[in-house]
Structure 1
């Protein structure tokens, strides 16, 4: 039996793309080992495949990446494996080196245009470091996946390497999922955001807009670098009863939460090519939950909304304008049901994983 060793830098539990990928390979009969990290607060990782999580001395910055990559290198070096699967640029170097030493096959799955994320755009030295790794290794890769057609096009043009697109779409919601708790309050509508709480996600703007939406609750699901700052902003604006932070939620419970919402938001700013050409998983989750969306005026998001008539595009990042758009979405949400239903049938993992299956059976 072929063994695939898959590595990420997170704690595995809420990474829907990686979990679905592992499940797909598991169904094909591969032996899976998924490697990540473990925080003190990390839930147990209960999956139908094997996992291993490092307990690290450092959890942020250069020392974290240095420790994780060094330990991952030695872990991979002495494991039985036929295929190595690196998720994102921050795991690529040890996977590449071990693949050369061990002469095993390597797959690189780029979940975003890593060197163009906002966190690196404003830090030229750090961006240079990651760019050097990408520029040295990427042209030598044979098996590459990414999440967006435009990012694939950029990579292929830059490095003359073919890139397969496997979009980050959810499984089809088979039945109504009961939420672990009820979010709805009397006479209130629900706006949901799910994903990382990082810079450039438009969350500060959404919070600033909430005083203009007195009959709405904003539910924020996720954790990230600016989580504390967002909570301070909510406190400063006296919005504690109107903005609710749920932290990280495992995917099965997240379905029930998303289905309670009236509107889903994806408000990424145009900060670097990674965000400009993004197709976030959360948007496809909103589609599966059949709730209308408010998205940024970015090319791929704008096209998706227009093609299926599933919501509105935010053409002005002004609180008054955004509040009006959300009110219109809530008032007319039944209008978007047809488009949402159609899109929910197209953008499902059941269909998307066929691309991944074809890819894994033809790797070099």
Structure 2
């Protein structure tokens, strides 16, 4: 049976990589090596996981780049222990680590690259450098996974590739749990100020978050923030500056099993990320699938391929200029006014688990690898 080593430059590993880990573990021997750049967690590291602890901090790309060699040496040590046949790189920076291991060890190890984000930067020179670096690394990759149907057109057609988007997990959405305490407590003390727009996920892109806050000033609209992230403290400070404490609610980090309760509370779901980042134009947010599944109105940027190609004919979608506060305010009001209109799904309900077998079959055939039989 083939052994796979998953590399992730964060800890906990991102949710997409966690899903791939679970999928691959049903068929292969899987180990994870990750990099915790935040405060050391009090929780024990799970079996078959190795975590480099380094309080470098998140959000500083320069420090991260200069510290990558330390993480690469750590991966090399784990590779010698586990002796994998395949390395699964969960992002372009993980790909750089995987290729470095392969080249310097002169090993014939196969590399699977999960292209979940395009390597970009607001600096054009840096963006070009990252693109060229990724292209050089791709020469050592055996199999590429695209997280968006729009990514493939940006890469050489000669790549051995497979598109596997961020479909929601049926296990998480259908998780039969007792209503969590935070949900029950909030329903008892829900603000009376009106309807809401909700942020679900990593709290980042401060310039966009700030525009949302400015857009709800002078209105009765609430802003619900579900999640944690590098911009949380800055956002909380801005809420106080704008005197929006009665309109903004911070729920903190959540588990996948909380999603159905989060979407029950949400009226509009924000999924318009800064399109001055090339990646945001071509990516497909997991909110794209989740909103359609839960019949909630999403807010997408007008400059994304999602807005231009997939949802332009649907009335249950808000398309916005995420840099224009007046447009954000007007579109949110319009979206909230349309809540009573019958919802029309823009995407068939598709789950991660429904796509697993086809993906694994294609992977085995493409890489000529063996795996255990999944009885489930």
Q: TM-score range by the shorter chain?
A: 0.7 to 0.9
User: What does residue 154 of structure 1 align with?
Assistant: 154
User: What does residue 85 of structure 1 align with?
Assistant: 88
Deviation, 1:220, is 1.7
Uncovered stretches (5+) of structure 2, i.e. residues with no partner: 368-376
Q: Is residue 308 of structure 2 the alignment partner of residue 314 of structure 1? A: no
Q: Is residue 2 of structure 2 the alignment partner of residue 2 of structure 1? A: yes
Q: Secondary structure at the match of 1:197?
A: coil
Q: Deviations over 1:195-238 (max 9, x none)?
A: 33333772121111121431x32122333443333222212101
C-alpha distance in 1 between matches for 2:362 and 2:316: 31
C-alpha distance in 2 between matches for 1:268 and 1:55: 30
User: Would you say the 8 A contact 2:72–2:101 is kept in 1?
Assistant: no
User: What does residue 73 of structure 2 align with?
Assistant: 70
User: What does residue 344 of structure 2 align with?
Assistant: 338
Q: Secondary structure at the match of 2:345?
A: helix
Q: Secondary structure at the match of 2:366?
A: coil
Q: Secondary structure at the match of 1:363?
A: helix
Q: Deviations over 1:51-110 (max 9, x none)?
A: 221112533423433322332233224422122101111111231243453322210111
Q: Cα distance 1:246–1:104, how it changes in 2: closer, same or farther (>3 A)?
A: same
Uncovered stretches (5+) of structure 1, i.e. residues with no partner: none
Q: Cα distance 1:334–1:246, how it changes in 2: closer, same or farther (>3 A)?
A: same
User: What does residue 17 of structure 1 align with?
Assistant: 16
Deviation, 1:309, is 4.5
User: Would you say the 8 A contact 1:264–1:283 is kept in 2?
Assistant: no
Q: Secondary structure at the match of 1:231?
A: helix
Q: Is residue 331 of structure 2 the alignment partner of residue 325 of structure 1? A: yes
Q: Is residue 133 of structure 2 the alignment partner of residue 133 of structure 1? A: yes
User: Would you say the 8 A contact 1:45–1:51 is kept in 2?
Assistant: no
C-alpha distance in 2 between matches for 1:260 and 1:128: 42
How does 1:36-75 map onto structure 2 within 5 Å? 36-38=34-36, 39-40=38-39, 42=41, 44=43, 50-59=48-57, 60=60, 61=63, 62-75=65-78
Match of 2:101 among 98, 101, 119: 98
How does 1:270-281 map onto structure 2 within 5 Å? 270-281=275-286
C-alpha distance in 2 between matches for 1:274 and 1:148: 10
Q: Out of 241-250 and 139-148, give the one that drifted further.
A: 241-250
Higher percent of residues as helix:
1
Match of 2:209 among 198, 203, 213: 203
What TM-score, normalized by structure 1, do the two folds share?
0.85
C-alpha distance in 2 between matches for 1:200 and 1:232: 12
Q: Cα distance 1:197–1:242, how it changes in 2: closer, same or farther (>3 A)?
A: same
User: What does residue 181 of structure 1 align with?
Assistant: 182
Q: Is residue 119 of structure 2 the alignment partner of residue 121 of structure 1? A: no
What root-mean-square deviation, in Å, do the aligned CA atoms of Structure 1 and Structure 2 show?
A: 2.8
Match of 1:191 among 197, 206, 215: 197
Q: Is residue 143 of structure 2 the alignment partner of residue 143 of structure 1? A: yes
C-alpha distance in 2 between matches for 1:132 and 1:6: 24
